Structure 1
Amino acid sequence: MSFEEMESPFDHTEPTSHHHGGGGSGGCSGGCTLDCVCQVVRAIKDIQDQAEEECEACTSNCFVEPLGDLGVRGRRDADTRVFTLTHKNGELFKALFRGHQGKCVSVFFRVEEIFDNCCATLRVLVPLRKDGKTVVDIMDTHGKVNFAELCEVRDWGRSNSCVTVDLHCFCAVQCIADVDLELCD
C-alpha cells in the first residue's frame, strides 16, 4: 500500500465518539477524542511490515515510506520506526525496560502489534549515545524527563520489554528515526 492509498487521520471532519475515562496524570481523561494517534501508529506498523527498497524525497513525517527514509535518506536496512507518544498534559509517555545500571526508563518505542479498538503492544527501546552506551539519566530526581540527557540520544537498542497501551490515551505521536534493530532477520 502506498502513502497515497492510505487514509490520512486528518481526513476526518468530525470527531469520533471515542472518549475514554481513566483520569490521572496524563491519562485518558478528556481532550483527545480523534483516532489520530491510533491511525498514525497503524501507519507506522504498515510501513514497518512493508519495508521495501524504494526512496522518497520527503523525510519529515510519520507517513514517509518506505521504512528507512525517515531521518537518513535511503537507509535500506531499517526494520523499525522509532517514535514517542505524548499525553494530553504534554508529558512524554515513558515505560520501563530491564537492566542498564539500574536506569531503565525510556520514552522511545517500536510498534509490535495493534489489535481490538486501538490497543497496541509497543517494544520499549533503549536510548543510546553516539558511542553506543545507554543514556541512563532520562528521568530527573523528580520523575520528569531530563531533556538535556534526552538530547544525547543518537541511536536505539532493542529491549525485551513490551507494554500494551490504549492509543486513544495519547494526543501526539512523533516519529524520530528509522533504524535497524535486527528484529526482522
Structure 2
Amino acid sequence: MGCGRNDDVLGTTDTRGCVCDVVRAIKDIQDNAEDVCECPKNCFQEPLGSLVSPARRTNADTRVFVLKTADGSPFHAFFKGKDCACVSIFFRVEEVFDNCCATLRVIKPITKENGQMAPLNMVKNCCIDLGSFCELCGFESTNDCITVDLNCFCAVQCIADVDLGICE
C-alpha cells in the first residue's frame, strides 16, 4: 500500500489513498473523547490529547497535522494576518465528505518569544523555509479554511494535540 494505491493484496481496486484514511481517523478522534492508552506518537493515537507529552491534556480539541505532496514538500495555505496574507503548513480537519474531499482549517504557528506568528520565509516565492519552524511553540486557530482532495497527498504527519477553543 502506498501513495495513490490502486490494487490491494486481494486484487480489488481502491481509489482512496492512505492520507484520506488517516484524515478520516483524525476527524473521528477529534469527535470522540475515549480514555484509551496506546503507544508512541502517531496519527491514529487515541484519545485526542494523547500526542501531548508527558501526560494527556484533557482539554485538547484539535489534532494539528501537516500534509505532504508527491515531491515530499509540505502543502501550504494562506490565511489573513493582521495586515497581510500569511502562510501556514498546519491544519485541523473540519469535515471529510464525498470521495475523500475535506475542509481544513488553517492553523497559525506561534513562536516562543512574543506570541507572534512564527516566521515562514518564502524562498523564490514557491518554497517554505522549514528551518523557520525551529522556534515553534504553539498554535492558534484562524477563520480561514481550504477544501482539498485528500487523494492528492502522499503523506500526513500529526504534530500535536492542542486546545484551540474551537469547541467552545
CA contact (8 A) 2:79 2:88 kept: yes
CA contact (8 A) 1:84 1:175 kept: yes
Show the counterpart of 2:166: 183
**1:140 to partner: Cα distance:** 2.9
> How high is the TM-score relative to the length of structure 1?
0.79
**1:16 to partner: Cα distance:** 3.7
For 2:86 and 2:154, the matched residues in 1 are separated by 24
Residue deviations 1:130-162 (CA, integer Å, cap 9, x gap): 242111324334421111112222211000000
What is the DSSP-based 3-state SS (H/G/I as helix, E as strand, rest coil) of the residue aligned with 1:97?
strand
For 1:100 and 1:59, the matched residues in 2 are separated by 37
Say which structure is richer in strand: 2
For 2:132 and 2:12, the matched residues in 1 are separated by 37
Deviates more, 1:125-134 or 1:76-85: 125-134
Show the counterpart of 1:160: 143
CA contact (8 A) 1:71 1:176 kept: no
Show the counterpart of 2:70: 88
Q: What amino acid is aligned across from residue 105 of structure 1 in structure 2? A: V
Choose from 47, 52, 65 the match for 1:71.
Answer: 52
Would you say 1:59 and 2:40 are equivalent positions?
yes
CA contact (8 A) 1:44 1:63 kept: yes
For 1:103 and 1:149, the matched residues in 2 are separated by 17
Would you say 1:170 and 2:153 are equivalent positions?
yes
RMSD: 2.0
Show the counterpart of 1:145: 128
CA contact (8 A) 1:79 1:183 kept: yes
Q: Calculate percent identity across the aligned residue pairs.
A: 53
Runs of 4+ deviating beyond 6 Å = none
Would you say 1:134 and 2:117 are equivalent positions?
yes
Q: Which runs of 5+ in 2 are unaligned?
A: 1-7
For 1:44 and 1:151, the matched residues in 2 are separated by 25
Would you say 1:48 and 2:30 are equivalent positions?
yes
Show the counterpart of 1:105: 87
For 2:162 and 2:102, the matched residues in 1 are separated by 20
Number of residue-to-residue matches in the alignment: 159
**1:69 to partner: Cα distance:** 0.3
CA contact (8 A) 1:130 1:154 kept: yes
For 1:91 and 1:123, the matched residues in 2 are separated by 19
What is the DSSP-based 3-state SS (H/G/I as helix, E as strand, rest coil) of the residue aligned with 2:164?
coil
